[in-house]
Each structure stands twice: as C-alpha cells, then as structure tokens.
Amino acid sequence: MPPSTDDAVVADIPLALVRDLYTGMYRIRQCEDQLNTAFARNLFPGYIHSYLGQEACAVGVCAALRQDDCIVSTHRGRGHYLAKGMALKPMMAEMFGKATGIGGGRGGEMHAADPARGILGGNGIVGGGIPYAAGAAYSAVLDGIDRVTVAFFGDGASNQGAFHETLNLAAAWKLPLLFVCENNMYAEMTPFKETVNETDIARRAVGYGIPGVVVDGNDVLAVLAAARTAVARARAGDGPTLLELKTYRTGGHFQGDPCKYRTREEEALWKSRDPLPRFRALALQRGAFDEAGLAALEVRLAAEITEAIDFSLASPDPDPASALDHVYAP
C-alpha cells in the first residue's frame, strides 16, 4: 500500500473541511447500507452495484473540484453523484425508477446525470465513459474555460482499448482531464492480479508521457491531496494525470453476490482499512467534532437517507404515455 497522509499534513487541514469530508463519506455509507436493505426487501427493480468501502475516493476527488468542473461516472456511480452534489431525493428516486427521479426514472442506477452540477452521467459500458470525459475536457479548451473534467473508472476498465486511446489523445492534446482509476482489486468476479502482469495501473501513465500516481484510496486526505495536485496541473493547461486509488469493494460486485471468489481473510484485512472508522478517529482527535456531536450528525444523516427512500417509495411511477418523450426531437 502507498503511505497514508502524514501527521504534519493532517494537522494543517482546516476543521471545517474535516467535517465536510466525514459528512460526505458517512452520507454515502448510509445511502449504500439502506439501499442494500431496501433492495433485499424487493422494494425496487434492477440492480445495486454498491459503493461501500470506496467512499474516500469519490469524496476526496470531488472535494478538489469546483461546481462547474465535470465528472463522468460508471455503473458504480452513487458515491460520485452524491459527492459532486446531486440532490439526495431526486438521486434516490432515480434508483427506484420513479417519475420524481433526476432522470424522470428513465436512467436508473447506471444513468443518472445532473449537468447543472457537472455530473455528465454514469455508464453501463465498462470504460465507456472515459472518451466522453475527454470530449468534455476538449470542449472546455475550445470554449476557453478553465474547467476540469474527471473520468472515474475501475481497474477492469483500465484494460479497455478506450482507456489507452483516450490517455494517448488527452496527453498529446494536454486536455484538462483527470483519469481516476478506483482499483478495488476486482472486475466482477475476476481478481486484478490474475489479469494484469503489473501491480500498479498508475505506471501505464509513463507510456503516455503523463504523471501516474498511486494513492491510498481509503485515506480521504491522501486522495484529496493527489486530486488537488492533478486539478492544478490540468487547470494550468499542463495536461492530464492518471491517479490510481487503491481501494476495496467491501460488498460483492452486485448486491446478492456471494463472493465465493475471494477469501474471508482478505475481506477482514480490508475491513481493518475501512476509510470511515479511520477518518472518524482522526476527526475526533483533531477536535473537528466531539463524540456527542458526531453521533448526532450520524443520526441526522441516516434519517435523511431514510426520508429520501420514503420519498421515493411514495413517488409515482413514470406515466406510460410519456415513454417516448426525450426519444425523438419534437
């Protein structure tokens, strides 16, 4: 594992930022936990690809962005949506396929988008979002705006041709782009180490002439620091960076996956590196919260998620008569 943030850096982080980072991660954790329960109770259709365990990646990267910066997400996108500021109730209702969802219930888990907040959408095609992100980055260059775009993707996606082609073009054109690979060690049921003869995806950056950085993806401050450096480089016109965030998908590939392809020992090891208890302890130690204040915040965040689920359940389904809306130009 790469080194975690050192004590001097920790001591310098403003307390308000510590509070925001913990709040962002806990909110995602609650969202994923409660959605898993709702899915197990058959309360909504489709799938759940849980973001549990990876919260520090989305929150750390998005904390380095402005509202007008853009992100492109994946099939495992809720953490990215929430961290970039999508409103909770419309996000949740989209998961439930309801008319009140951010996409009117048409996109569901993999296709929520909110252009006003720079969220250009998830993607059901592994690696499919990476070239879109380059397009968004190039549009900022053409418009003369110092907007940065982030492509989030997984270790599996880093073996797609689209990843390599986009890295090459983005490097050659110095696009204001961050390639953020969340290496959670698995692509569906396939371990990364069985498919790639190299331990670090970040080293692929060398072949394209851009920086490649390995980061402890379960250390939100390390993620934030690396993202800030990469964002500053992109905004200055110096081109893209590839960040590899080493993390772990603590749930299965999808909710209900029995995880027979990995050991309970490996899961226990990564549980000990869980980004939330780790940062919770740091936040208390820094005095960002007292224990009672933190517990109260957690209760409030959990209640907000429950309320969003209740809102979704009470919302109407999309009207069948509107099925062809947004398909053809008026």
Catalytic residues: 249, 253, 261
**Who's near 330: CB < 8 A, 6+ residues apart?**
none
* 177-216 positions binding Mg ion, by CB under 5 A: 184, 187
| DSSP letter string, 235-289 | HTT---EEEEEE----S-SSTT---TTS-HHHHHHHHTT-HHHHHHHHHHHHTSS
Q: How far is the CB of 103 from ligand TPP (least distance, A)?
A: 19
* From the list Mg ion, ligand TPP, none, partner contacted by residue 157 (C-beta under 5 to 8 A by kind): ligand TPP
Q: How far is the CB of 248 from Mg ion (least distance, A)?
A: 10
**Who's near 216: CB < 8 A, 6+ residues apart?**
1, 2, 3, 4, 222, 223, 245, 246
H or E element: which one contains 139? helix 129-143
Q: Given the complex with Mg ion, which of 187 and 227 has the nearer CB atom?
A: 187
Q: Given the complex with ligand TPP, which of 78 and 249 has the nearer CB atom?
A: 249
Q: Given the complex with ligand TPP, which of 78 and 106 has the nearer CB atom?
A: 78
Q: How far is the CB of 187 from Mg ion (least distance, A)?
A: 5
* From the list Mg ion, ligand TPP, none, partner contacted by residue 307 (C-beta under 5 to 8 A by kind): none
Which of 60, 97, 127, 154 is close enough to bind Mg ion by CB under 5 A?
Answer: 154
Q: Given the complex with ligand TPP, which of 186 and 289 has the nearer CB atom?
A: 186
* From the list ligand TPP, Mg ion, none, partner contacted by residue 78 (C-beta under 5 to 8 A by kind): none
* From the list Mg ion, ligand TPP, none, partner contacted by residue 124 (C-beta under 5 to 8 A by kind): ligand TPP
Q: Which residues bind ligand TPP (CB under 6 A)?
A: 75-76, 124-126, 153-157, 184, 186-188, 249, 253
Contact 75, 158 (CB under 8 A): no
* From the list Mg ion, ligand TPP, none, partner contacted by residue 130 (C-beta under 5 to 8 A by kind): none
* From the list Mg ion, ligand TPP, none, partner contacted by residue 318 (C-beta under 5 to 8 A by kind): none
Taking Cα atoms as reference points, which of 20, 18, 73 lies closest to residue 51? Answer: 73
Per-residue x/- track, 44-83, Mg ion (CB under 5 A): ----------------------------------------
Q: How many residues does the chain have?
A: 330
Q: How far is the CB of 230 from ligand TPP (least distance, A)?
A: 20
Q: 162 — phi, psi (to 5°)?
A: -60, -35
Q: Given the complex with Mg ion, which of 132 and 192 has the nearer CB atom?
A: 192
Q: How far is the CB of 155 from Mg ion (least distance, A)?
A: 4
Neighbours of 34 (CB within 10 A): 16
> Six-digit token pair at 11?
């001591």
| DSSP letter string, 52-102 | TT-HHHHHHHHTTS-TTSEEE--SS-HHHHHHTT--HHHHHHHHTT-TTST
Contact 201, 243 (CB under 8 A): no
Contact 141, 70 (CB under 8 A): no
Neighbours of 62 (CB within 10 A): 25
Q: How far is the CB of 126 from ligand TPP (least distance, A)?
A: 4
Q: 203 — phi, psi (to 5°)?
A: -70, -15
Q: Given the complex with ligand TPP, which of 99 and 131 has the nearer CB atom?
A: 131
Position closest to Mg ion via CB: 154
Q: Given the complex with Mg ion, which of 49 and 106 has the nearer CB atom?
A: 49
Q: How far is the CB of 187 from ligand TPP (least distance, A)?
A: 3
Distance CA 129, CA 133 (A): 6
Q: 251 — phi, psi (to 5°)?
A: -85, -175
Positions touching Mg ion (CB under 5 A) are: 154-155, 184, 187
